[in-house]
Amino acid sequence: MNPMPMLTHPKTFDEVIARGFPHEHLHILNRASDPRRLAFQPPAAPRLAAPAGPAVQRKSADTGFGAGEQGAFRNAVTQLVEEGTYRELVGHHMDMNHNMHGSMGEVGLYRFLGWHRRYLVAFERELQRVDALLRPGAMEKLGVPYWTWQDPIPTWMEDFLPAPDPTTGAAPPVRKEAPPPEKANANDLDLIVNQFSLQDAQLSDRNDYTKFTCGLEGWGLRPDGSSLPGHNHGHAWIGGIMNNTSTSPSDPMFWLHHAEVDRLWEIWRQANPTPAPLLNGTDRIMDPWAESYDELLSTKSLGYVYDSLTS
């Protein structure tokens, strides 16, 4: 069988889930990463400035985010769309040269968590910049809320799709918000966070970080052999443009979804501080930003903490 089609990144998360992790094509995908490494130039982007003031608290979108914050979030995102900054942010995710998904192979699997953490910080700081203009008297900075996967989409986020499809300029497709696939339930989260050692990524030199990120991204299996829902499944469950592996940040639910990914990583990391991704050299730099994986481990130094660190 010709393995070359596997080098094309899947267009939807439905396809990602159907294909599964590309174990049998890793040697080809790893070779495909070599030209990227050889052509790599250190990003010209400035390094993150130290956050001013206390760390912002990222809160549950359903139970912790008050009506004032809900309106402020929507207004700030709308302003970012109108000024064009939102399209620039979406563009980072559309550039698959950043190699930030497990469907791209081992390097993408290992970069997934660090890259998306840095991406969330980029969005959060733009959100705060605009919010400070829109609400100059606000007592607290605005943080990105997180969406717990066991719950439906927060009612205040329903029908909030202010950004057009960046490839067509048209209104994005409506969300599906229904299975298949399933999204993770409480038992699934326990498997991902606390029983991660059950996940076998079938990779050489695999460690606990590999097993954990494998399950969290959506490549794991339940004990009965069925697919363990994770990040990938949340994208596909929401549907619409969130199901697009490239342009999914066009839906603001992207940020709430990835804040939950980041929160679950932080819960796991607090209990397992040592395991690290098997990244070497420039693969540790989360381009297009200048920071390396190692500089992204302390959320407080990045300017945020979570209101809850229980799954």
Share of the chain above pLDDT 70, in %: 97
Q: Are 291 and 47 in contact (CB under 8 A)?
A: yes
Q: Which of 111-115, 204-208, 285-289 has the lowest mean pLDDT?
A: 204-208
pLDDT of residue 7: 62
- 3: confidence class by pLDDT, cuts 50, 70, 90: very low
| Range 78-94 burial, b when 16+ CB lie within 10 A, else e | bbbbeeebbbebbebbb
pLDDT of residue 2: 37
Residue 253 corresponds to which tokens in the numbers above?
């639910």
Q: Are 271 and 29 in contact (CB under 8 A)?
A: no
First-to-last alpha carbon distance for the chain, in angstroms, is 42
Q: What is the pTM of this model?
A: 0.96
Model confidence at 152: pLDDT above 80? yes
Model confidence at 1: pLDDT above 60? no
Give residue 269's identity as a one-letter amino acid code: R
Distance CA 209, CA 229 (A): 18
